[in-house]
């Protein structure tokens, strides 16, 4: 089962690298120090996870199954977002494109960040390493601040009113919940299912 985890994790890492260079547009609005620090933290997550995958064994079956499920969900959610979205700006961009509210964007406003969080959380859960938990917390904070910055730009654009409605109906990283079930936004009406 560890080989399945390894294959999924490598697929996630390669997907993230591909998207960074071929999908997301880098703009001058991205603070260089933020991008470098982010890259260093992500590299720490990746290297630590790979080291643990090659050096630790004997994980319980439920933990391995949970890891496979979370890595798979992360990968599927990421590629669903890729196929749904057009080229998007990297974090901290000052450019606004169209607001995407279909596909995974019906479930959460930031499906890319959600997929990243799922992956990093899975690694921390699997290996229960202090460094993985600390980097996970940093990355969640980074994604939250990035999302807020991106949303701030949108809220100052011509899409402001539309986006305010979207914010009311769709959660940032997790679906809005009502009576224990996820509320998914209908892209045509803007109402939740």
Say if CB 71 and CB 125 are below 8 A apart. no
Q: H or E element: which one contains 18?
A: helix 2-22
Neighbour count for residue 76 (Cβ, 10 Å): 13
pLDDT at 94: 54
With tokens 């509210």, the residue in question is 101
Q: Which of 63, 8, 45 is nearest to 143 (CA)?
A: 45
Say if CB 127 and CB 66 are below 8 A apart. no
pLDDT at 49: 96
Q: Say what the pTM is.
A: 0.86
Say if CB 59 and CB 116 are below 8 A apart. no
For the chain, the maximum distance between any two Cα atoms, rounded to a whole number of angstroms, is: 55
Say if CB 29 and CB 94 are below 8 A apart. yes
pLDDT at 50: 96
Q: What are phi and psi of 192, to 5 degrees?
A: -90, 140
Neighbour count for residue 53 (Cβ, 10 Å): 19
Q: H or E element: which one contains 43?
A: helix 32-55
**Beta strand 176-178 pairing with 181-183:** antiparallel
CA distance 115 to 25: 19
pLDDT at 189: 60
pLDDT at 47: 97
pLDDT at 91: 47
Strand partners, 185: 192
pLDDT at 90: 46
Strand partners, 182: 177
With tokens 């949108």, the residue in question is 154
Neighbour count for residue 116 (Cβ, 10 Å): 23
Please give the chain's pLDDT, 193 residues, in tens: 899 999 999 999 999 999 988 888 766 566 777 778 989 999 999 999 999 999 988 889 999 999 999 999 999 999 999 999 875 554 444 556 678 888 999 999 999 999 999 999 999 999 999 999 999 999 999 999 999 998 998 999 888 999 999 999 999 999 987 766 666 766 556 565 5
């Amino acid at each position: 089962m560890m080989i399945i985890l390894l294959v999924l994790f490598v697929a996630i890492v390669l997907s993230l690298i591909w998207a960074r260079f071929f999908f997301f547009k880098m703009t001058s609005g991205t603070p260089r120090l933020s991008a470098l620090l982010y890259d260093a933290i992500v590299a720490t997550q990746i290297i630590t996870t790979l080291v643990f995958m090659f050096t630790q064994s004997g994980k319980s079956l439920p933990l391995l199954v949970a890891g496979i499920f979370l890595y798979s969900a992360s990968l599927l959610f990421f590629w669903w977002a890729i196929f749904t979205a057009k080229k998007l700006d990297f974090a901290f961009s000052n450019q606004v494109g169209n607001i995407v509210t279909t596909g995974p964007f019906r479930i959460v406003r930031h499906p890319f960040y959600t997929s990243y969080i799922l992956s990093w959380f899975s690694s921390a859960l699997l290996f229960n390493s202090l460094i993985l938990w600390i980097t996970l917390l940093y990355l969640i904070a980074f994604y939250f601040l990035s999302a807020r910055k991106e949303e701030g730009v949108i809220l100052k654009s011509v899409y402001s009113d539309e986006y305010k409605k979207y914010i009311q109906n769709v959660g940032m990283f997790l679906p809005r919940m009502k009576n224990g079930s996820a509320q998914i936004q209908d892209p045509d009406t803007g109402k939740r299912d």
